[in-house]
């Protein structure tokens, strides 16, 4: 496949405004991850307001299709099956699938494509569409900008991902005071969430703490035994049930935490789908989590929360609109963005040095703030 035809010139100017653009068929490329997709929802909202009659498609990775599949602002889902397509260069079946996928993109005749993933692959898909306007960021990685013909300026160092993405909507002529993050949870999903809580014997109006102890990077995870101690303190001092949640591949960690508790938390890890997980988080009195996808769900749902953050920068990828929820150690080495313990030269001190008392105190603050807002 030649990459020379229609390749944008290397001196494509950076743009802050192309608000006069007219678009009838729009593709938003943001395949993963969970938190990143949540951060892209304000752009979706901005596009729908700016182009109310347009056909808007979203390219999303298979595991995250349910998050946006039935969103009212999305007309079409283009599923990106990474496992199926990843080995296109060495497996004939995968190559045929990859070629079919690129033909599908070209045949869709999009006139505006926005790449929020910012990697070589997503940039290439942007170019493959043949769209007249191909938008991305000048600081995208892996040479992705060579595929764009409209580039937005580099981001400030501590700009949150939501605000960064939202520059696209603003450049297209849509502005408002605050980006809108709408997960579009339905009444049916709320009903299913309540049925799950009924099934564990939790009274309908009972307050509970949602505990989400996992994260994709091992360096982001607090110690399991400290989660157990935290759950016990929430039970004894607040009389509140804790519900431990996670994906199917997180069951072992969740069970380990539950088994160490002297209280009786309910472990429903692996028993909810993505939408049900969000609907249960929406009901929680307080959410305790790491820098993870569920953290971004909780922030989008405006829940009282405690965000335990270590190797990442909360100003860039923390809980949007909930910076007061962040608990972290202010260390010279943080943020380091190291993913594995073996890479850390400071014995994972950002997490090992974070005591239960510190996290528990913030839980109490969040619960007090919730009570105060209810009493008003």
Q: What is the pLDDT along the chain (376 residues), one digit of tens a residue?
A: 223 233 333 344 445 556 667 899 999 999 999 999 999 999 999 899 889 999 999 999 999 999 999 999 999 999 998 777 766 666 767 778 888 999 999 999 999 999 999 999 999 999 999 999 999 999 999 999 999 998 988 877 789 999 999 888 888 887 665 788 999 999 999 999 999 999 999 988 899 999 999 999 999 999 999 999 999 999 999 999 999 999 999 999 999 999 999 999 999 999 999 999 999 999 999 999 999 999 999 999 999 999 999 999 999 999 999 999 999 999 999 999 999 999 999 999 999 999 999 999 999 999 888 776 666 5
Q: Is the dihedral of CA 368, 369, 375, 376 positive or negative?
A: positive
Q: Which CATH number fits domain 25-171: 3.40.50.720, 3.40.50.880, 3.40.50.2000, 3.40.50.620?
A: 3.40.50.2000
Which positions ≥6 away from 92 have C-beta within 8 Å?
A: none
Task: Show me where the domains of the chain are located.
Answer: 25-171, 187-375
Instruction: Return the CA Rg of the chain.
Output: 22
187-375 shares the fold of 25-171? yes
What are the two backbone dihedrals, phi and then psi, of residue 295, each rounded to the nearest 5 degrees?
Answer: -60, -40
Q: Does domain 187-375 have CATH number 3.40.50.10490?
A: no
Cα 272 from Cα 279, distance rounded (Å): 10
Cα 60 from Cα 78, distance rounded (Å): 6
Instruction: Give the number of other CB atoms < 10 A from CB of residue 319.
Output: 26
Tokens standing for residue 368? 């007090």
238: closest CA among 366, 327, 375, 373?
Answer: 366
């Amino acid at each position: 496949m030649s990459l020379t035809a229609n390749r944008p010139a290397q001196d494509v100017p950076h743009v802050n405004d192309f608000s006069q653009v007219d678009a009838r068929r729009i593709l938003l490329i943001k395949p993963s991850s969970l938190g990143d997709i949540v951060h892209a929802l304000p752009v979706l909202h901005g596009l729908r307001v700016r182009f109310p009659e347009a056909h808007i498609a979203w390219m999303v990775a298979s595991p995250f299709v349910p998050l946006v599949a039935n969103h009212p602002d999305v007309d079409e889902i283009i599923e990106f099956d990474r496992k199926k397509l990843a080995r296109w260069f060495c497996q004939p079946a995968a190559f045929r699938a990859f070629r079919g996928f690129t033909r599908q993109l070209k045949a869709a005749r999009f006139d505006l494509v926005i790449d929020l993933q910012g990697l070589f692959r997503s940039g290439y898909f942007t170019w493959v569409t043949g769209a007249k306007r191909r938008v991305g960021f000048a600081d995208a990685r892996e040479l992705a900008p060579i595929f764009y013909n409209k580039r937005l300026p580099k981001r400030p160092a501590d700009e949150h991902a939501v605000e960064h993405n939202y520059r696209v909507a603003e450049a297209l002529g849509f502005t408002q005071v605050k980006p809108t993050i709408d997960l579009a949870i339905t009444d049916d999903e709320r009903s299913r969430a309540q049925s799950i809580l009924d099934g564990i014997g939790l009274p309908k109006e009972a307050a509970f703490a949602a505990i989400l102890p996992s994260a994709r990077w091992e360096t982001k995870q607090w110690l399991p035994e400290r989660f157990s101690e935290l759950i016990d303190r929430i039970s004894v001092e607040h009389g509140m049930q804790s519900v431990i949640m996670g994906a199917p591949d997180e069951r072992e960690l969740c069970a380990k935490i539950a088994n160490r508790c002297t209280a009786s938390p309910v472990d429903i890890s692996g028993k909810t789908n993505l939408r049900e997980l969000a609907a249960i988080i929406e009901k929680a009195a307080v959410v305790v989590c790491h820098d993870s996808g569920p953290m971004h769900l909780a922030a989008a749902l405006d829940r009282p929360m405690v965000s335990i953050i270590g190797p990442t920068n909360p100003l860039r990828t923390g809980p949007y609109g909930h910076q007061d929820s962040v608990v972290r150690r202010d260390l010279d080495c943080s943020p380091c963005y190291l993913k594995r313990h073996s890479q850390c030269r400071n014995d994972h001190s950002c997490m090992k040095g974070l005591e239960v008392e510190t996290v528990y105190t913030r839980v109490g603050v969040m619960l007090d703030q919730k009570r105060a807002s209810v009493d008003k």
